[in-house]
Amino acid sequence: MKKLIFTVCLTLISVFASAQNGGVKGFVYNSSNGDPIMFANIIVENSTLGTSTDINGFFIINKIPKGAHNLHIQSIGFADTVISIDITAGKTINIKAELRPESKTLETVEIYGRQESVRTDSRVSVKKISATDIQKMPSIGGQADIAQYIQVLPGVVFSGDQGGQLYIRGGSAIQNKVLLDGMVIYNPFHSIGLFSVFETDVIRNADIYTGGFNARYGGRLSSIMDITTKDGNKKTTSGKLSLSTFGGSAIIEGPIIADNDDKDFSMSYLLTAKNSYLSHTSESIYSYIDNELPYDFFDLYGKLSLTSKTGSKVNLFGFNFTDKVNGYKNIADFNWRNSGVGANFIIVPANSSSIVQAVLAYSDYTMEMDEKSTQNYQKSNISSFNGNLDITQFFEKNQLRYGIDLMWNTTNTVYTSDTDEDPDYSSDAGAYLIFKGLLGNFLYEPSIRFSYYASLSEISLEPRLSLKYNISDRFRLKAAVGKYSQSVIDTKSDRDIVNLFTGYLTAGPDLYGGVVSQYRGKAVDKFVEKSNHYIFGMEYDISKFLTVNAEVYYKTMTNLISINRDRLFDNDSSHSSFPDYLRKNFAVEEGTAWGGDISLKYSDGRLYVWAIYSLGKVEKKSETKTYFPHYDRRHNVNVLASYQLGLDRSWEVSARWNYGSGFPFTPTSGFGERLPLSDGLISDYVSTSGSLTAIYGELNGRRLPSYHRFDVSAKKRFNVFKHSIFEIEASVTNVYNRNNMFYYDRITSERVDQLPIMPSLGMTLRF
């Protein structure tokens, strides 16, 4: 009885104390253009209360004692601002703060901001990237691009300069999910492999998860790339024009309704265009290359933003991305197009410690390949509608986040020009719950996701957990575990040394040609692919400028559906006596991936150095054999360095060196003639002409030579006119002209190499 009375009294005291407190929430903006400032620090003076802004510039602080207080707001590159507030018990007030850009960087602010963020965020297998980070890379072709930066990240394997794909911690390319402002994007990297569809200068933030991501994200086994673009300039018209030996780009942005104190809302626009004319310059500037570089792309993106005084806003956006490869080595024509429209919302309810976000979007992706030698035409289309509703509630140092998301897909893949198009429809839904708590030095983030694959009638329950323990201000331990699932598969075979074409299919019993009914003696009656992640790591600040980060991981993958490489017979009644794995088009496999990454980062304002070593091993098991997939790279090293020179830091030099051990490949043992024998035993095998067929050796039994490349660039900035900056940049890709192998041509036994040494020059005008 005494315990009950004590508990009731303690609860009443807590409720009474909370009633004497209030809160403050709001947004922090750049005063020059109205753009939200991420990760700014907000401190209630003369107290231990404080927080930092999120990627939308939003912050909230609860349990502030009633009365007058000062909020101290600070961010790197901006002048400190102090705002007076008057807290009323039981209420949360809303403010809008603007910080003035300042060239001087306060070292104490930098240290404080870094320590707060690493203490209060688990940061397991995630890298937060801004446009500033991307600019530290040597700008290949005069254009800094996120595709070049992602290749440096721990655990990421890049297959090559031409037709390159990203493989992350043992996962195939189809296991990576890419989001642009909440919309699902298919194939965001161009065929040249050096550029993405994203314009660097409009990227506000990119969260790259290489594993262990929480329950907010679903539908993929391996990784998440969540990219957010900035809004258009709310104060004045501005833009950028850029030209280089590789291509050109343009940005224009500005207010439709300018942001000022007299209006309840503002409206701005943002338009970008980016193209490549490498197919033309390769005939003149790069004429020494044995084969021309037939890579052309053209990307358009537009955004319209309506923002209220309280920070609530709606964004409307649309894009059209295209990529063309005309007559690569006279083998094939390849092209793809990705277009879409969407809207996202941020709602800040009055007098509430919460924020509501939502996304509605539609995209359509089509790729085509026409093989000239075989006159074989392939086409794949996937159109998607996705929606998401996400709510975050804040409780002092803790957060509760929950939401739902929906996805509808239509896929259609044809392999020959006379194949009938037969669309496949699928849908899935997800619901998730995430709690983020901070208990002293211990950060914990349990989450759970319910994924329902309606077309397969399968439910996947996916618990996940992230942990961090701050042993000291300098040393932190972290860990993550979780279950993941997906139902989208691709049509690539691991035997393909190089293949630009990827068809998208939805796994299921009605999959074209059928899925095997058994895998190693177990019945196959489920078609959702599954994966488990286990990650452990540490962070240590050696000094205020030098940090080391290390992680080890283990990943299991089950029910992987892929092209059946063991198939020998047609799946018809005359071959029904043979087992499924010899007849069906699609097989089931299992896989494991393990490895570790260690990175060392130094940054003192002028000098930036980031060195990464990754060790990894990927192994898959088919019905008949155990093998290494073609993206199994054991050793990967990246060293990135950037230095700013001059009193005004107007000079900047950057360099990157990459080493990767050789990829596995299946050698060609010989060739034979394959006769059609369409009439069975009575076929005329004497006079009938067959087709040339490769006889394969051991599956991925050999490895290509190792890959390494050194890139450098130098950039100079000039102040021109009153508010304009002119930049000129020179770069050299593959400085020592390493002959990195791309693949062997199976028919001619010709060695095909990656890009040779390629100098470039670029100019940019910002206004």
Closest to 590 measured CA to CA, from 559, 546, 613, 566: 559
Residues 269-286: pLDDT tens digits? 999 999 988 878 777 888
Band (pLDDT 50/70/90 cuts) for residue 110 is: very low
pLDDT of 374: 63
**C-alpha torsion angle, residues 184, 186, 191, 192 (rounded to 10):** 20
Residues 206-219: pLDDT tens digits? 999 999 999 999 99
Residues 243-255: pLDDT tens digits? 998 889 999 999 9
Q: Which residues contact 676 (CB under 8 A, 6 or more apart)?
A: 683, 688, 690
| Cβ neighbours of 183 (radius 10 Å) | 25
| Cβ neighbours of 578 (radius 10 Å) | 13
CB contact at 8 A, 55 and 87: no
pLDDT of 372: 66
CATH homologous superfamily of 20-114 equals Carboxypeptidase-like, regulatory domain (2.60.40.1120)
H/E segment holding residue 120:
helix 107-120
Band (pLDDT 50/70/90 cuts) for residue 682 is: low
CA atoms within 13 A on the CB side of 722: 1
pLDDT of 507: 81
Cα separation, 156 vs 112, in Å, equals 30
Q: What angle do CA 315, 321, 322 make, to 5 degrees?
A: 170
Helical segments of 55-205, H only: 107-120, 131-134, 146-150
Tokens 């041509």 belong to residue? 745
Residues 73-108: pLDDT tens digits? 988 888 888 888 888 887 888 888 888 887 644 444
Q: What angle do CA 150, 153, 158 make, to 5 degrees?
A: 60
- pLDDT at 415 > cutoff 60: yes
pLDDT of 498: 60
* Lowest mean pLDDT across 34-38, 340-344, 463-467, 724-728: 34-38
pLDDT of 424: 83
Cα separation, 634 vs 280, in Å, equals 37
Phi, psi of 678 (to 5 degrees): -65, -20
pLDDT of 665: 86
The two tokens of residue 301 are: 């993106």
> What class, spelled out in words, does domain 126-666+701-766 have in CATH?
mainly beta
| Cβ neighbours of 309 (radius 10 Å) | 14
DSSP SS3 for 17? helix
pLDDT of 643: 95
CB contact at 8 A, 652 and 670: no
Cα separation, 634 vs 626, in Å, equals 17
**Pairing between strand 247-257 and 238-244?**
antiparallel
Backbone CA torsion sign across 91, 92, 98, 103: positive
Cα separation, 319 vs 271, in Å, equals 10
Cα separation, 246 vs 200, in Å, equals 16
* Residue 652, beta-bridge partner list: 644, 715
**Pairing between strand 223-229 and 176-180?**
parallel
Cα separation, 298 vs 295, in Å, equals 11
pLDDT of 611: 97
**Pairing between strand 126-129 and 92-99?**
unpaired
Query: Is 250 exposed, middle or buried (CB count within 10 Å of its CB: 0-12, 13-18, 19+)?
Result: middle
DSSP SS3 for 191? coil
Cα separation, 715 vs 249, in Å, equals 18
Cα separation, 600 vs 579, in Å, equals 52
What average pLDDT score do residues 117-144 get? 81
pLDDT of 108: 40
pLDDT of 162: 66
Domain boundaries of the chain, sorted by first residue: 20-114, 126-666+701-766
DSSP SS3 for 259? coil
* Residue 300, beta-bridge partner list: 273, 320
**Fold agreement (20-114, 126-666+701-766):** no
Tokens 């596995």 belong to residue? 664
